[in-house]
Structure 1
Amino acid sequence: MSLSLEVSPLVRQARDASARAAAAARIRVVDESDLDRLRDVEALLITVWGTSPHGAPIPTDLLRSISHAGCNVTAAYSENGTLCGAAAAIVSPGNASMYSLIAGVLPGLADNGVGFALKQHQRAWALIRGIETMTWTFDPLVSRNARFNLTKLGAHADEYLENFYGLMEDDINAGDQSDRLVAVWPLTSRESVACSEGVPLATVLPGFGPADVRGIGPDGRPSVAESAGSLWCRVPTDIVALRGRDPEQAAAWRASVRDIFSTEFGRGRSAVGVTRGGWYRLETGGQQ
Structure 2
Amino acid sequence: MNTPASLSIRELNGLGELALTPSLARAVWGEGDHPEDPGLLLAVQHIGGLVAGAVDGDGQLWAYLIGLPTKDAGIQHSHRLGVHPSARKQHLGEKLKRFQREWCLERGINQVRWTFDPLLLINAHLNIHRLGAVVRTFLPNYYGEMGGINAGAPSDRFEAEWVLGSTRAEAHLAGQPSETWPQQAFHPLEAELPATLPEQIAVRIPKDFYRLLREDQARALDWRLKTGPLFTRLFAEGYTLTDVSLSREHYLFERGAEC
Return the letter of the residue paired with 2:237: R
Check if 1:106 corresponds to 2:84: yes
Note the 1:161-240 alignment, pairs <5 A: 161-169=139-147, 171-197=148-174, 199=175, 201=177, 205-208=181-184, 215-218=186-189, 220=190, 230-240=200-210
1:78 counterpart residue number: 56
Check if 1:255 corresponds to 2:225: yes
CA, structure 1 residues 46+202, in 2 after alignment: closer, same or farther (shift >3 Å)? farther
1:11 counterpart residue number: none
Contact 2:153 2:224 in 1 (8 A): no
Return the letter of the residue paired with 1:280: Y
CA, structure 1 residues 193+223, in 2 after alignment: closer, same or farther (shift >3 Å)? farther
Deviations 1:86-140 (A, max 9, x none): 0001111241300000011111322212111100111011111111000000000
Check if 1:33 corresponds to 2:13: yes
Return the letter of the residue paired with 2:132: G
1:242 counterpart residue number: 212
- Which consecutive residues of structure 2, in runs of 5 or more, have no partner in the other structure? none
Contact 2:52 2:64 in 1 (8 A): yes
Please, which of 29, 34, 45 is the counterpart of residue 49 of structure 1?
A: 29
What is the identity percentage for the equivalent residue pairs of Structure 1 and Structure 2?
30
TM-score, normalised with respect to structure 2: 0.89
User: How far apart are residue 40 of structure 1 and its match?
Assistant: 0.9
Contact 1:217 1:223 in 2 (8 A): yes
Cα distance in 2 for partners of 1:56, 1:265 equals 31
- Kindly tell me the number of residue pairs found equivalent between the two proteins: 253
CA, structure 1 residues 223+87, in 2 after alignment: closer, same or farther (shift >3 Å)? farther
Contact 2:152 2:217 in 1 (8 A): no
**Stretches of 4+ aligned residues off by more than 4 angstroms:** 202-206, 222-229
Secondary structure of 1:147's aligned partner: helix
Cα distance in 2 for partners of 1:81, 1:227 equals 53
Cα distance in 1 for partners of 2:102, 2:167 equals 15
Deviations 1:6-59 (A, max 9, x none): xxxxxxxxxxxxxxxxxxx9421111131111111222112111233xx63222
User: How far apart are residue 149 of structure 1 and its match?
Assistant: 0.4
1:3 counterpart residue number: none
Bigger drift between 149-158 and 26-35 goes to: 26-35
Secondary structure of 1:191's aligned partner: helix
Contact 1:223 1:235 in 2 (8 A): no
For the aligned residues, what is the CA RMSD? 2.4
Cα distance in 1 for partners of 2:258, 2:30 equals 35
Cα distance in 1 for partners of 2:234, 2:152 equals 27
CA, structure 1 residues 248+200, in 2 after alignment: closer, same or farther (shift >3 Å)? farther
1:131 counterpart residue number: 109
Return the letter of the residue paired with 2:22: E
Bigger drift between 244-253 and 177-186 goes to: 244-253
Secondary structure of 2:161's aligned partner: strand
TM-score, normalised with respect to structure 1: 0.80
Cα distance in 1 for partners of 2:101, 2:187 equals 38
User: How far apart are residue 81 of structure 1 and its match?
Assistant: 4.0
User: How far apart are residue 200 of structure 1 and its match?
Assistant: 5.1
Cα distance in 2 for partners of 1:249, 1:201 equals 33
